[in-house]
Amino acid sequence: MPYAISVDLGETLVGFRPRSYEYMLGILKDYGYKIDERSFFRALVKVLGKSNFANEEGLNPLNLHELFYEIGIHPCRKIMEEIANRDKYQDYFLYEDAIDFLKEVKKKYKVVIISNSTKRIHKIVKEFELDKFVDKVVASCDIGIVKPNPRIFAYAKRYVGDILLHVGDIYELDVVGAKRAFIDAILLDRFNFYPEIKIKAKTLYDVLRYMEIKGML
C-alpha cells in the first residue's frame, strides 16, 4: 500500500475566525484580565492535550478549572458559565497555500486529514473541494478519539497505509500525538505561538521545502 501524508484541518488547511480560543480571551479581557494571546493559547492547548477521547461535539473536553489554574486566575463561576454558554459560531476560509500543498503532496502520496473537529468538517471539505486531493478524512467526531491519542493515527493507517509525516498547528496535539504513534511530524506555526521550537514551518510552502530537504519529494 502506498505511503501517506497526514494533515490537520483547522488553522492548517482551513482558517476559522474568530479562532477557537479568541472568544474565551475576549471574555476574560471584558472582565479586566490582561493576558497575552500566546500565553493564553499555550495554556489552553496544554489543558486540551491531556484529553484522549472526544466530548459530545467531537472535540477535546476542556476543564475550565484547569485552564484558569494555568493562566493564574481564580475560577470564577460567572466567567466560566459565560465561556461555556457563549455562541461559538465561526466563519471559515481556505488558506491560500492549502491547495498548492495538497496538489504537490498528492503527486506522490496518499493524503489523509486527521482532525479534532465537529461534524461540520465534512461540509467544509466538500465546500472547498478538498476531497479531490484527500483519500480519507478521519475526524474525532466520527470515532470518539482525539489527538494526541495515537489511536487516531492508527485508525487512519487502516485506510491509507503507513504515514510518513503529519502536519499540524498544535504541538501538544499534532506533534505529540504523531510521535506517540511513531510518525514523524512538523509543526505549522502560522502565528509564532512556539518561538522556542526551531524546526517548524510558517506556511505549507515551508512544509514542502522541508519535505524536499528530507528527500520526500
pTM for the whole structure: 0.95
- The predicted model gives 99-123 an average pLDDT of 98
Per-residue model confidence as pLDDT tens digits over 9-29:
999 999 999 998 999 999 999
Residue 2, pLDDT > 80, answer no
H/E/C letters for each residue in the chain? CCCEEEECCECCCEEEECCCCHHHHHHHHHCCCCCCHHHHHHHHHHHHCCCCECCCCCCCCCCHHHHHHHHCCCCCHHHHHHHHHCCCCCEEEECCCHHHHHHHHHCCCEEEEEECCCCHHHHHHHHCCHHHCCCEEEEHHHHCECCCCCHHHHHHHHHHCCEEEEEECCHHHHHHHHHHCCCEEEEECCCCCCCCCCCCECCHHHHHHHHHHCCCC
- The predicted model gives 187-206 an average pLDDT of 98
User: How high does pLDDT run on average in the chain?
Assistant: 96
Residue 85 has a pLDDT of 86
Going from the N-terminus, what domains does the chain have, and what CATH number goes with each? 4-14+94-213 (3.40.50.1000), 17-85 (1.10.150.660)
